[in-house]
Chain A
Amino acid sequence: MHPAPSVILFSTLSGLGFGFLAFLGWGALLPSGGAAFSLWGLGYGLAVAGLFASTFHLGNPKNALKAFTQWRSSWLSREAWASVATLLILAPVALSDIFDLELPRIVGQIGGTLAILTVLTTAMIYTQIKAVPRWHHWLTPVMFLTFALAGGAMLSGCALAPVLLLAVGAVLVAVWQVGDQAFAKAGQTLGTATGLDRLGTPSVLDPAHTAGNYLKREMIFVVGRKHAAKLRKIALALSALLPALVLLLPLGVYSIALAAVLHLAGALAARWLFFAEAEHVVALYYGARG
């Protein structure tokens, strides 16, 4: 699949943002005044920047409001609702923290849980797609949720953060191990794609078209896969191992900032791989495996 920067930025930034908003909502740290303004601002900023980036992926964004209509069947529509609901419900909690209004914490707890559900809806957009076997696995939502929880814990200085970051590493390794087998396991070949397996073993004689098209650009992305092994190591080190170590340094808020920068870079690399390594079964028609 084509690793579009808009979608990578969207899922990475909003994942981190909603993860942090969850911890703020749950009351993992109870800031007030200017500190509360900066922390809630960071959470909202990340989440909204991510959502904003996602609109660049749309061919016809003027219809964006219509995306709220199909929540009964569409995970993308559910994501739209969950993200807006989270941002609305947590707004009074943020104001209460900033101005010490003593709003009951239960509102924050509901909003925080909704923030995590928002990340789940994002993950399900990819998980539901059977035509991309690498994504069509329960580990996909586990990965998105672990990233959000670890990122949120890290930014809120929660003691659990190093453990959750190591969990991100473990999940990434599991996702890659399982993902590498997924396409073969799905059992689709040019033979099943054309039904010519009942005759013999087909292979491509001539391409259907010599120039590119939407399918080849969007779903048959092959550039850069040769660096996948290196990028995996970089993603694992930057998103999980190094920030977990950095958080153990006695540098206070500076260690959190350093860990956050490392983690975000690693998360972007991991998300790039999530798309670039994902093979769509339509590639079979073109004689490639995605």
Chain B
Amino acid sequence: MTGLPGATEKRLGLVIDLDTCVGCQACVTACKGWNDGGIGLSDQDPYGADPSGTFLNRVHSYQVAIPDAPAQVVTFPRSCLHCDNAPCVTVCPTGASYKRAEDGIVLVNEDACIGCGLCAWACPYGAREMDAAQGVMKKCTLCVDRIYNETLPEEDREPACVRTCPTNARHFGDLADPDSKVSQLVAQRGGYDLMPDMGTKPTNKYLPPRKKGPGEASPLAPLLDIKATGIAGWLDRMLGKI
């Protein structure tokens, strides 16, 4: 059914720390690597002049002009937010797009997808990309084939993007549980929703970059103000007078 399940028991999702993300694109690569198995995420002309491909995670980089402080560069990973009120689910005519009642993960049943693209239109976040080779919609699965996979070592039972992040900027957990590590992070750091006015009620939260103070003076600054002495000093004074 493309109806939404209402309140889900768990709300599994990601918390992304924009303060520690360095934009290394490791999560993009790990995501593509893990999800490329099986049916896969196709690329078109990957080594040619006009490469293009299907990705479930993209990392943007922005510069932020801040009044009375130095500008900051913020790298910004963007993927499915597994919304409570997911518009991509209700628009689907075939029932291929659905939200799981047990853990809130939004998935696509590719066997039922007609590739109409309406779910991608309905998503404000650009979380869905149509696979140009397969003609069906692709999206983040929250690595549903890792997180419950008991054949994997326990530390690997989290999404590939989280597992690979070298700066621990990505956190995975249950956002319905106020005591979970991710919920604590959101509470402590003021985690927020993207475009809340769109009414999608995202599960994933972003932690804001910490405000940096005014730029510190360079340790080399004293060397810039050189006072010449002796003959050089006399020359300096004389030439200054001419």
Chain A residues at the B interface, C-beta cutoff of 8 Å: 1, 57-61, 63-64, 66-70, 72-77, 80, 125, 128-132, 186-188, 190, 192-196, 198-209, 211-215, 218-219, 280-282, 285-286
Contact = CB atoms under 8 A, between A and B. Distances in A.
B72 interface: yes
Interface residues of B, number: 71
A277 B126 CA distance: 18
26 contacts: A59-B137, A60-B134, A63-B94, A68-B93, A69-B95, A70-B93, A74-B92, A76-B116, A129-B91, A130-B87, A130-B198, A131-B123, A186-B197, A187-B197, A192-B195, A196-B76, A199-B64, A199-B208, A202-B63, A203-B63, A203-B64, A205-B62, A206-B60, A208-B59, A211-B52, A285-B60
Given A76-B91, A200-B72, 11 more contacts: A59-B135, A63-B111, A74-B2, A131-B198, A195-B206, A205-B63, A213-B54, A215-B120, A215-B126, A215-B129, A219-B120
Contact of B117 (A59, A75, A195): A59
Given A58-B135, A80-B93, A188-B198, A204 B121 contact: no
Contacts of B96: 63, 66
A116 to B, nearest CB: 21
B95 to A, nearest CB: 5
Contacts of A61: 114-115
B134 to A, nearest CB: 7
Contact of A131 (B65, B92, B124): B124
B78 A59 contact: no
Given A199-B209, A200-B64, A203-B65, A131 B94 contact: no
Tell me the dominant secondary structure on chain B's binding face. Answer: loop
A188 to B, nearest CB: 6
A194 B65 CA distance: 14
B90 interface: yes
B87 A131 contact: yes
Tell me the dominant secondary structure on chain A's binding face. Answer: mixed
Contact of B135 (A60, A74, A130, A186): A60
B3 A194 contact: no
A63 to B, nearest CB: 4
Given A70-B92, A205-B73, A211-B51, A200 B114 contact: no
A69 B52 CA distance: 33
A122 B148 CA distance: 40
A73 B116 contact: no
A280 B50 CA distance: 24
A75 B121 CA distance: 14
Nearest to B198: A130
Nearest to A186: B197
Nearest to A198: B208
A213 B116 contact: no
Contact of B78 (A57, A199, A208): A208
A70 B131 CA distance: 23
Contact of A1 (B60, B63, B115, B121): B121
B192 A206 contact: no
Contacts, number: 214
B7 interface: no
Which 5 residue pairs across A and B have the least CB separation, nearest first? Answer: A59-B115, A59-B135, A200-B66, A282-B126, A66-B94
A63 B114 contact: yes
Nearest to A57: B116
Contacts of A201: 64-66
B228 interface: no
Given A66-B94, A75-B91, A200-B67, A131 B58 contact: no
Nearest to A192: B195
Nearest to A68: B93
Nearest to A286: B60
A209 B115 CA distance: 24
Interface string B115-157: 1111011111110011110111100000000000000000000
B114 A58 contact: yes
Contact of B126 (A66, A186, A219): A219
B91 A60 contact: no
Contacts of B69: 200
B80 to A, nearest CB: 13
Given A194-B74, A281-B124, A59 B94 contact: no
Given A69-B94, A70-B93, A80-B93, A125 B118 contact: yes
A126 B197 CA distance: 19
Contacts of B59: 208
B3 A73 contact: yes
A67 B62 contact: no
